Structure 1
C-alpha cells in the first residue's frame, strides 16, 4: 500500500480480534515511529509496548469516559474496551526536556504526535488497526507501568487485527473550508 492510499483508507479501530501481532509487524510500526521528524532531531518520544492481558485491563480501567462517548449514547467507553481487548497497547511518552520550548510553547506533543501518526499509518499499511486514546489518568497509568515522573504520557494506542472491517470514515471537510492561500482573507 502506498502512502497516500494508507492516509485515505486508515480508520480508527476499536474492536480487535485475539490474533496476536507478529513481532516483525510490531517492530515495523515502531520503526516507522522512530523515523518521524522531531524538533532539532531530538527524538523525545519513548514507547512502552504492553502485551500482558492483566496489565492492559488495568490500563483500560484508567481510560476516562468523556462527554463525546456520553453524547453518542455509549453505555460503556469504547476506548476502555479497545485497550483491554487489543493484543498490544503502545504507550506513547515524551521526555519533555528533549524537545523544543520557545516562548513558553513546548513542542513534545507535536513530536510525539508526528511519531504516532507515522506508527498508525504504518500499522494500517501492514494490515493492523489502531486508535489513539488521549483521555486517561496519566498518574495511574504511569504508576502502573513504572514510568519516571520526568516522562510525560501523551497517548495510548491499542493495536491489533481489526475484528471487523472498519467503517468508512466520517465525511471530511472540503479543501475550500480548511485552506487559505496567501493570507486568511484571500
Structure 2
C-alpha cells in the first residue's frame, strides 16, 4: 500500500466537497451517487485492499456535502453486488426504488458502501437509481446510475489520495430542432414582443 497519510486524503476530499458546494449546482432533494474504491485511494489496484479507515474519512466529508446542499447520498457497491446502491429508506420511498436483499461487506460490496451501510441509521440496498450528479473515485464507473444527459464537471482537485476522481451532473435532454428555445430569458423576450 502506498503510504498516503489520512490527513492528505481528508484534505483532498474536503477540497472537492467545498468545490461542489461553491459551484451551487446541487439542489435539495436531488440524488448524488458516489462510487469509490478505497483501494485506489490507498494506491492499490481496485478491489484488492479495501480500507475502512479511508472509508470513514471520506464518509465524514460526504455527510458535509449532504448537510450543506440537501442532496441525498447513494453509495455504489462493487460488481460483486451488481453495483447496487446504499441509500436511506427515505430515498427508497421518495424515488420509488426497488430494494434488494444483501448487506454490503468489504469483500462483496466494497469498503465504502459497507461503511456507509453501517453508519446510515436507516440504510437499505437498492438495485439502481438515476442520480442528478455524482463522483467517481478510482474509476468505478457510476454512469449506469446517472440520469441522461450526463455533463462532466471539471474541478481543480482531480485526485483523492492516489485515486483518479471524475465528476458529473446531469441536465434535461434538449428536444426540438433549430426553432427550439432553451433559455427562459429568450422565451420571455419572444413572448413580450
Structure 1 length-normalised TM: 0.27
> Which structure has the highest helix share of the two?
1
> Which structure has the highest strand share of the two?
2
